């Protein structure tokens, strides 16, 4: 039974925009949401996401494990605040150039980079009851670029969901390969299949799970190609000039 009911829709997460003005008026070092979120990120960076337990966190903060409950309603609300803070970095220093394809590429690659460093992030985003403030800001930038690309509202929405799914999926699959030896284990596993029943797998294996960044880049370009063609299907045929690899 969830307490449910009066959540209204003021996002429940208090985005607080990092807009200078007095982020936390307490003695420095005392608890407060920001300090807890900081400790969370530090702990995750230091020992991995699975080390983030309330007891460990309490230890790092010099407080009881349950002290966090004075500032967050649950662990998942805390993780939402953490994800929001991390995702805010995606747009740090981003300036739209007006070249829509370049801008979409840039934002997506930045988002992927953050997701790769914090693989536990994607599930938290998906589990949130409403889009995090930082996700909304990223989405707005992407919407804008896609509109500049010539897409209508409906296609913008669909294109955004495509980019979102691809980025989330790639990040969660690539996260596994952090050790990088997993990728080669998967590749070898395909390579060693019986060639009579798996002829294609054996042939393709050498190219499988090689460089995650290259593979992501390839997929992103495919998606951008398709979106470009969707916006401008009358593009001239370009006969004669060289094909692709």
Partner DNA sequence: ACCTGAACACCGTTCAAGT
Site for a second copy in 218-237 (CB under 8 A): 218-219, 222-223, 225-227, 229-230, 233-237
164 scored as a contact of a second copy (CB under 8 A): yes
Nearest distance from residue 65's CB to DNA, in Å? 5
At a CB cut-off of 8 Å and minimum separation 6, what does 84 contact? Answer: 13, 15, 132, 133, 134, 135
Site for a second copy contains 239 (CB under 8 A): yes
By CB under 8 A, tell whether 75 contacts a second copy.
no
Q: Which does 76 bind (CB under 5 to 8 A by kind): a second copy, DNA, none?
A: DNA
**Torsions phi, psi for 126 (to 5 deg):** -65, -35
Q: For residue 161, with 0-12 CB atoms within 10 Å meaning exposed, 13-18 middle and 19 or more buried, which class applies?
A: exposed
Instruction: Return the residues of window 75-114 that contact DNA according to CB under 7 A.
Output: 75-76
161 counts as binding a second copy under rule CB under 8 A: yes
Which of 23, 45, 74, 152 is the binder for DNA (CB under 7 A)? Answer: 74
CA atoms of 39 and 63, how far apart (whole Å): 12
42 binds a second copy (CB under 8 A): no
How far is 142 from 106, CA to CA, in rounded Å? 10
Which long-range contacts link 155-163 to residues 24+ away (Cβ below 8 Å)?
155/230, 155/231, 159/227, 159/230, 162/223, 163/104, 163/108, 163/223
Write down the least CB distance from residue 19 to DNA, Å: 21
100, 146 Cβ separation under 8 angstroms: yes
Least separation in angstroms between residue 32's CB and a second copy is: 26
Q: How far is the CB of 181 from a second copy (least distance, A)?
A: 10
**Contact flag: residue 173 with a second copy (CB under 8 A):** yes
Q: What does the binding site for DNA look like in residue numbers (CB under 7 A)?
A: 26, 30-31, 52-56, 58, 62-67, 69-71, 74-76
């Amino acid at each position: 039974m969830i307490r449910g009911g009066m959540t209204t829709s003021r996002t429940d997460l208090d985005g607080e925009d990092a807009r200078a003005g007095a982020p936390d008026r307490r003695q420095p070092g005392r608890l407060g949401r920001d300090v807890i979120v900081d400790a969370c990120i530090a702990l995750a960076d230091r020992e991995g996401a699975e080390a983030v337990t309330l007891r460990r966190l309490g230890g790092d903060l010099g407080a009881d494990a349950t002290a966090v409950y004075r500032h967050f309603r649950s662990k998942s609300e805390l993780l939402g605040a953490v994800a929001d803070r991390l995702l805010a970095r995606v747009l740090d220093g981003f300036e739209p150039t007006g070249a829509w394809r370049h801008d979409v590429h840039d934002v997506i690659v930045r988002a992927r980079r953050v997701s790769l460093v914090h693989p536990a992030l994607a599930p938290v985003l998906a589990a949130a009851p409403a889009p995090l403030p930082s996700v909304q800001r990223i989405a707005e930038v992407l919407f804008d670029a896609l509109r500049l690309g010539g897409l209508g509202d409906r296609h913008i929405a669909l294109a955004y969901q495509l980019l979102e799914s691809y980025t989330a999926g790639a990040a969660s699959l690539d996260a596994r390969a952090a050790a990088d030896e997993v990728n080669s284990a998967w590749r070898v596993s395909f390579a060693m299949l019986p060639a009579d029943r798996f002829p294609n797998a054996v042939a393709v294996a050498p190219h499988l799970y090689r460089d995650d960044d290259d593979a992501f880049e390839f997929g992103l370009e495919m998606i951008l190609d398709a979106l470009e063609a969707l916006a401008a299907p009358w593009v001239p045929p370009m006969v004669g000039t060289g094909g692709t690899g």
